[in-house]
A and B are shown apart, each in its own frame.
Chain A
Amino acid sequence: MIGHFASRRDILKGGAGIAALGIGALAPRSASAAEMTAREKELYAAAKQEGSLTWYTAHYDDQTAQSLGRMFEQLYPGIKVSVVRTTAQVAFQRVSQEIKAGAMQVDLLSTTDIGHYVYLKDKALLEKYVPDNAGRVLEIYKNYDPDGFYFVTSAGMVAMGYNTTKLAATDAPKNWTDLIDARWKDKVSLGHPGFSGYVGTWVVTMRKLYGWQFFDKLAANNPQIGRSIVDTVTMLNAGERVVSAGPVAATMESAQRGNPLAMIYPTDGAVLIVAPSGIMKGVKHPNAARLFMEYLMSAEASKIQVDRFGETMRPEVSPAPGVVAAKDVKTIRPTVDEIFKGIPEVIKQWRDTFGV
């Protein structure tokens, strides 16, 4: 099966393009019942009765999220997936509104702010489900919640992207603190921690390393502030800004499509984001949600993510040669507790410093 996928990447690299990834190539297993495990079969049968699933996700850009949804529909015909891609805080905002209104719409929540899950678990708003696949992911992604309410289903890095037509590799910044150099005035592109979980985690990490002064100085450089971290890719592509604190996967995926982008892995460490998923309590499609949870931790889902330059969850799926993965570079990441406490704090600090 892996061989099959590898050839798909070759096609992709050969220039068949993203379209192949989106539709054409998505027929790896055709969900033959024979290959399903007993649990999978049981869940699938029950999920088919439910017929659909609503998935709020902040883990990837819209295209990756939609490909994952479509792949699931192909693997498990008869279950329609509604993929709502937003930033982490917007997804959480909608979930909070649903909780407050007492009308849960979402089945499965995937945000990039692990603090959300600490909170939701604490308030008993998550449904416990331990996927079979939870034991089959890479060691570093196991056991974030030993009680089985949420599981890491994707990971990615925040590093520095830059526009290669506006900046030579030799002139590019080397580490995060370079960004506060006056040389980068009006040249930096950032997301917003009040929207993006990636940005929130990055800000918490920077504050831990360099204190809030880092952001006071960064503010003096007048960075462009968008919402999603993915927005920085557009800003670099357009030539609006030159350097970003940006997402590795979306930036590299865009570079591969021919855009003038490259990545710098800062010497003080790219920030590794581990992003969990959890099933909400009292949802309308619990079995579909469980099946989707299994799917997110499957080799198939990892393959799609790796093809779009994300991290693999599974040891048997490896990125194509030459693709930089988290294991190849120095990464840093705050603890779950630091994120849980830190993100709400840094959002406030950010608003005071940057005005929005």
Chain B
Amino acid sequence: MSGGLDTLAQPGGRGMLGRRFAFLEPSMALWLVLIAVLVFLVASPVVRILVSSFQEPETGRFTFANYAEAYGNWRQLRAVVNSIELGLGVALLAGLFGVPIAWAISRTDMPAKGFVRLMVFGAFITPPYLGAIGWILLAGPNSGWLNKLWMAATGAGHGIFNVYSMPGLIVVVAVTSFPYVFVFVNSALDLVSSEMEDAANILGAGTLRTTFRVTLPLVVPAIIGGLIISFLEAIALFGAPALIALPARFHVVSTQLWQFFEYPVRVEEAAAFSLPLLIITVLMFWLQRAIIGRRGYAAVTGKGGERRTIRLGAWRWAMLGYAFFVCALAVILPMTVLLQAAFAKAWGRGLSLDNLTLRNFTYLLFEQTQAQQAIVNTFVYSGATAFAAIGLALAIAYVVNRRLVPFSNLLAFLCMAPFVIPAIVLAIGFYAAYAPPPLALYGTAAILILAYTTRFLPIAYTASAAGLRSISAEMEEAVRILGGGRLVAIRKVLAPLLKKSLAGSWLLVFIPATRELSSAIFLVGPNTRVISVMLFDLSEEGNFEVLSALGAILLIITVTIAAIGFRVIGRDFMVRSAR
């Protein structure tokens, strides 16, 4: 998998492959190698899903029976509807959370911007299932902190929030996915110059009118992009729905897919059932193009222009209040209760000295036979994934950007394709394609790292391509004119220039990899367990104290690594290098 850079390092295609293709251009060999890697990582698992959805489990003969089975049951159909409802709800709410905050930070004089930014980053690194546990502790209908507060304050017999419901699930997922909207919209707004706003102002429009009629319409593509990502993340999510939807008595597609893996394992039916997710995703992107494609958004040119801060007056405190409200829902409240639980003997007993203990941590680190290994695995796999994905993406972005090979767009397309494959579907594809012999990767670290690499390839590619675009080919050409080879040019010119942006891209892959559950759940073995899967297993028992402690360990290590990253590359890597 580290093949990305290695293959790039051998454009001549030495060795057997090289001799066999000696009649081809060297760049052709490189193209073939890259295509082969991408076919292995992306195309083959997906094709495998499509094919097996039409196969009889035992004989492999063609059949429609899997579809009949998968959709011949009202409960399973209902799961599809529920998923769509969840996705729409999350996208809408994430937009309501993300857009105003992005606007306030980018364009206004709202105070405490640094703090809000930090909180948004906090929401970005919080795994949705951990947020879900926090919200179970906050809004369990009878036992949640918020409900207890409400009952104590009003004397009511029961609470007012019920996390075990569709609205509950929507809120829980939305507060962890609004950072996508924020990042998209914020970076787009940063590029819109004030000229058009000025024009509107001159023509008599107030701040509000200008914002809604001029500023926001200019960043519609970014808003739609963010909403679509939120929608897609929500419908593909497994952990949070498993924690919340089951007690709430409904299924979504991902929890239903999990059921197909019960005995007897029905991969074929699961494949058939996962098709709507794929179709919905493709439709979404088609929709995005249809909406955006017809209009011009040339104002976002990326070129200069003056940007003025909008003065909100007293309203800036209202804006801060709203931002604080969102941050409280996303980070402050759930993190407070999770920390309380992590250090509590019994979380239900509340904050008191005799309820404080380090026992949950010592249990995990010294008595639990799996936790240590899972912690190491998580960060090793995530690190390896980040290197592999960035290496491959960079090689491809380079080839595409410098137009070294024909049909380079096909490479770019394959790189971006995993974007439209929900993680849980991808995992099923990997399981079907690579778990059994001949590759027999089940239970190995390799299958996890490969699946993660595929999963995060689009992020890596987008970030790498953006980095490369900013560097003109002229400097490399200078090296080559002076007699240096392409490798020298890459090593001496490109690599140093790209260092910072690569570190940013690395973090953008690394952080989501540390929290990845949906694609890990079907691929882990007992010795390749990662924190997310362990959290999921522990959550069955409802042992929230130990769960929270493990979640805290995950977040502390992630934040430490991210903080080192910030030092290396400057503060807002998230905003600058994200799509």
Contacts and interface: CB of A to CB of B under 8 A. Distances in A.
A240 B442 contact: no
Interface in A37-59: 54, 56
Chain A contact residues (Cβ within 8 angstroms of B): what range? 35 or more
Interface in B21-79: 75
B251 interface: yes
Nearest to B158: A186
B165 interface: no
A86 B526 contact: no
Contacts of A98: 442-443, 525
A265 interface: no
A70 B363 CA distance: 12
Interface stretch (A204-212, A220-228, A267-275, A312-320): A220-228
B431 interface: yes
Main secondary structure of the interface of B (DSSP, over half): loop
A90 interface: yes
A259 B543 CA distance: 14
B435 A240 contact: no
A354 interface: yes
A143 interface: no
A87 interface: yes
Interface string A219-249: 0000011111011011101111100000000
Given A97-B431, A100-B436, A105-B443, A234 B543 contact: yes
Contact of A83 (B247, B370, B436, B539): B370
A238 B435 contact: no
A16 B10 CA distance: 65
A300 interface: no
B263 A93 contact: yes
B249 A93 contact: no
Contacts of B346: 237, 257-259
A82 interface: yes
A69 B369 contact: yes
Interface string B533-557: 0000111111110100000000000
A102 interface: yes
Nearest to A87: B540
Contact of A225 (B246, B522, B537): B246
Nearest to A61: B541
A322 interface: no
Tell which of A61, A84, A258 has the most Cβ of chain B within 10 Å: A84
A106 interface: yes
Interface in B120-160: 140-143
A354 B251 CA distance: 11
Contacts of A56: 526
Contacts of B370: 82-84
A34 B359 CA distance: 36
B58 to A, nearest CB: 12
Contacts of B529: 84
B382 to A, nearest CB: 21
A100 B265 contact: yes
Contacts of B249: 225, 354-356
A97 B143 contact: no
B366 interface: yes
A182 interface: no
Contact of A351 (B75, B265, B369, B539): B75
A93 B442 CA distance: 14
A12 to B, nearest CB: 15
Interface in B435-492: 435-437, 440, 442-443
Contacts of A351: 75
B251 A356 contact: yes
A231 B527 contact: no
Contacts of A69: 369
B367 A23 contact: yes
Interface string B357-395: 001000100111110010000000000000000000000
A230 B435 contact: no
A54 B524 CA distance: 14
A192 interface: yes
A85 interface: yes
Given A102-B436, A233-B542, A240 B140 contact: yes
A103 B435 contact: yes
A62 B436 contact: no
A103 B540 CA distance: 25
A62 B368 contact: yes
B250 A234 contact: no
A133 interface: no
A310 interface: no
A91 B336 CA distance: 33
Interface string A89-121: 110110011101111011000000000000000
A194 B265 contact: no
B313 interface: no
Contacts of B250: 355-356
A89 B541 contact: no
Given A93-B265, A240-B143, A356-B246, A230 B526 contact: no
A101 B75 contact: no
Contacts of A103: 435-436, 440, 442-443, 525
B230 to A, nearest CB: 25
Tell which of B261, B263, B522 has the most Cβ of chain A within 10 Å: B263
B367 A54 contact: no
Interface of A: 19, 22-23, 54, 56, 61-63, 66-67, 69-70, 80-87, 89-90, 92-93, 96-98, 100-103, 105-106, 192, 194-195, 224-228, 230-231, 233-235, 237-241, 257-259, 351-352, 354-356
24 contacts: A62-B538, A66-B363, A84-B370, A85-B541, A90-B540, A92-B263, A93-B263, A103-B436, A103-B443, A105-B525, A224-B247, A227-B540, A230-B540, A230-B543, A233-B542, A237-B346, A238-B347, A240-B140, A240-B143, A259-B346, A351-B75, A352-B75, A355-B250, A356-B251
Interface of B: 75, 140-143, 164, 245-247, 249-251, 259, 261-265, 267, 345-348, 359, 363, 366-370, 373, 431, 435-437, 440, 442-443, 522, 525-527, 529, 537-544, 546
Given A66-B368, A106-B526, A230-B542, 11 more contacts: A80-B369, A87-B540, A92-B263, A97-B522, A105-B442, A226-B246, A226-B540, A228-B540, A234-B541, A235-B143, A356-B249
